[in-house]
Amino acid sequence: QEQLVESGGGLVQPGGSLRLSCVASGFPFSNYAMRWYRQVPGKEREWVAGISVGNHANYPDSLKHRFTMSRDNAKNTVYLEMINLEPEDTAVYYCNVPLGGGRNAWGQGTQVTVSS
């Protein structure tokens, strides 16, 4: 059974940085693209980063200058490095793997709060 576990969230001041981690299990990790999403209560889930099997990462134009996604296949882990954080980045951040056939696996989320 596919499982994703996020960690690394917390409280950070504007302008600060955080590194989120997502540890995967239950599927052949290196053969799957991975994604990060975030969600604020009352708003729709927002895609923030993706990385391909071939290690190509991409981001929304609004975030690509501040967010960097990477993967370590030996550790079954993906990361999201966030710099120059803004209050608008406050959200629960979720790890996701598209499994095909319309199926997705999701982690439980990790809270990021950007506040002075």
Q: What is the pLDDT of residue 17?
A: 98
Q: What is the pLDDT of residue 55?
A: 95
- To the nearest 10°, report the CA torsion of 86, 62, 39, 71: -100
Structural contact between residues 91 and 40, judged by C-beta atoms closer than 8 angstroms: yes
Question: How do residues 57-106 score in pLDDT, each as one tens digit?
Answer: 999 999 999 999 999 999 999 999 999 999 999 999 999 999 999 999 99
* Phi, psi at 70, each rounded to 5°: -145, 170
Amino acid, single-letter form, for residue 103 = R
Q: What is the pLDDT of residue 24?
A: 98
The label of the residue with tokens 């809270």 reads: 111
Q: What is the pLDDT of residue 43?
A: 96
Q: What is the pLDDT of residue 48?
A: 98
In whole angstroms, give the CA distance from residue 112 to residue 38: 9
Q: Which residues pair with 97 in a beta bridge?
A: 105
Amino acid, single-letter form, for residue 35 = R
Q: What is the pLDDT of residue 18?
A: 98
Structural contact between residues 4 and 107, judged by C-beta atoms closer than 8 angstroms: yes
Question: How do residues 9-52 score in pLDDT, each as one tens digit?
Answer: 999 999 999 999 999 999 999 999 999 999 999 999 999 999 99
